[in-house]
Amino acid sequence: MRVYLDNAATTPLDKEVFTAMTPYLLDHFGNPSSLHEHGRMVKSAIESARTTIANLLNASPEEITFTSGGTEADNTAILTAVKGEGITHIITTRFEHHAVLHTLDNLQQKGEINVSFINSDNNGNLDLEHLEILLATNPRSLVSVMHANNEVGNLNDIEAIGDLCEKYNALFHTDTVQTMGHYRHDLKKLKVHFLAASAHKFHGPKGIGFIYCRKGIKLVQLIHGGGQEAKLRAGTENIHGIIGLAKALEIAYQDIDHHQQHIQGLKDYAIDQLNELLPGISFNGNSANAGKSLYTVLSVGLPSLSLPRSLLQCLDECGISVSGGSACSAGGVSHVLKALQADASRDTIRFSFSKLNTKQEIDYVIEQLANIFQLKAA
């Protein structure tokens, strides 16, 4: 049996998405910048996909720009704020994805910005009173806070953060890579200037994402060349990826409530079974708190095993695919767990679920963990 519980790293491609993409891999191959019929037809499909996404998010099509994924979208948002809007102070958290933190490090080393970090408690809950102090003392900042953490699943109150940003005339960027397609986002109500998303986190293809940029702000180009994406993102468009992205988001929104109920049920069941199996295990951040965490992610601290191979390797040998945290940081020490001051003596496993997982798979994982820990005890 092979069980895949690493959906925060990437999700399986939905078969309906593949079906929608296939004609744009085989038949509709025109370059959308070409003026002939082959090009015009493909260009029309791209704009239709853009409109679909905008309608689902209650945005305008011109506010959606396609990118290679979440990393490019995050980089573009930050550089637009700094180089396009003249921002020199950025407020963020120590839990952000490296697409944000490394970009900020680079700009700070060049002397282009100063960075402030929002205080948080040991579970990673942000101190919004401290954020307000930072905004009051640093007018015209950019606030960059992810909607949900990719390693421990903490949800941040981006509605409240948006309200504070509006109050102090700050720009707001949020990375929704882990929540797009899993929660509804109303961009007319949410007071955000930039939003990043990536298709492969909600059963779409890899290598495609988008940035939402509110009207009135012009994106600063990362990639220069042709006039694609309204001269905002050069390079021949990833046509089949764009079609797949729009289809995946459309599918996600159709059954979002049902999927949330199903996946939350699996997560709750896993928490109960893990607690019964190994009393005294820990859950990182707000991971086990249904009201404060992403329903697809469960980060668990397990007793370390004195074995010649890691717990992750043991599980992989049992046919179970999980991770210790972000796939982008595999093999290193997680900056998120460091910021949370998590117990370094424990092995961290991130289980991340999708609509395709089943209760039977959770039972198999628990059975294999029981075998592993019994072998250790013996």
| Residues recognised as catalytic | 328
* DSSP code per residue over 303-335: E---SSS-HHHHHHHTTEE-BSS-GGGTTS--H
Residues 353 and 330: their CA atoms lie apart, in Å, by: 19
For residue 352, the tally of other CB atoms under 10 A from its CB is 27
Q: What is the DSSP code (8-state) at residue 221?
A: P
Which residue, among 186, 196, 232, 193, has the nearest Cα to 214 in the 3D structure?
193
Q: Provide the total of helices (H) and of strands (E) in the chain, helices listed first.
A: 13, 12
Scored b (16 or more CB within 10 A) or e, 201-234 reads bbbbbbbbbbbbbbeebebbbbeeeeebbeebbe
Residues 97 and 223: their CA atoms lie apart, in Å, by: 21
Q: Which 3 state secondary structure label does DSSP give 253?
A: helix
